[in-house]
Structure 1
Amino acid sequence: MPGCPRTHRDKIVRRVSSRTWQDCTIGNAVGICSHNYIRHRLTDYETWLYRHKLERDEARLIVKEELDEIFQSWQKPGLNKR
Structure 2
Amino acid sequence: MAETHKCSTDTVHYTWHKEHEPILTIDSGDTVVFKQEKYRIINLIFTQRQKRFRNLIGIMFILFLVQFTSMVRNQEIPWL
Q: Which is higher, the Rg of structure 1 or of structure 2? A: 2
Fold shared by both chains (TM-score > 0.5): no
Higher relative contact order (CA 8 A, sep 6+): 1
TM-score tier after normalising by the smaller chain length: under 0.3
Larger strand percent? 2
TM-score between both structures, scaled by the size of structure 1: 0.24
TM-score between both structures, scaled by the size of structure 2: 0.25
Larger helix percent? 1
